[in-house]
Amino acid sequence: MAYSSGMAGVLIGLALLAFWLYSLFDVITTPEEAVQNVPKALWLLIVVLLPVVGGLFWLVRGRPHAPSAGRHAPRQPGLPLPPAPKGPDDDPEFLRELDRRMRGDD
């Protein structure tokens, strides 16, 4: 019985370490202008010095709300949306070339 409780402790410890590393990496890779409430350097200190609690605070109070916040330029109102990327099966030239290859007309 002691073996299973020891294994549970190890798994919990590994999960907490993984959460701390995720939080630390997230703070480091988030652009300075996207960080909320306090400067990025202070968030880094909070996450390093208070591993679990600091990581939770970062996720709730410091992390950008939108996943793309700060990583892409905001769209200007009134401008048309850029065209959606086309897949290869939407390209008629690609389909003709594929058909030629499948028939062996190289």
Report the alpha-carbon distance of residue 42 to residue 32 in Å, rounded. Answer: 11
Residue 94 is encoded by which pair of tokens?
């690609």
Task: Give the number of other Cβ atoms within 10 Å of residue 19's Cβ.
Answer: 15
Report the alpha-carbon distance of residue 52 to residue 61 in Å, rounded. Answer: 14
- Identify the DSSP state of 61: I
pLDDT by residue (tens digit) across 18-49?
Answer: 999 999 999 999 999 888 899 999 999 999 99
Number of domains in the chain: 1
Structure-model confidence comparison of residues 14 and 80, the more confident one: 14
**Predicted TM-score of the model (pTM):** 0.56
Under a CB-based contact definition with an 8 Å cutoff, are residues 36 and 64 in contact?
yes
Residue 36's contacts (CB-CB under 8 Å, 6 or more residues apart) are 61, 62, 63, 64, 65
Give residue 85's pLDDT.
66
Sign of CA dihedral 66, 67, 68, 70: positive
Q: Which domain holds residue 20?
A: 2-103
Mean pLDDT of 49-63: 91
Residue 87 identity (one-letter amino acid): G
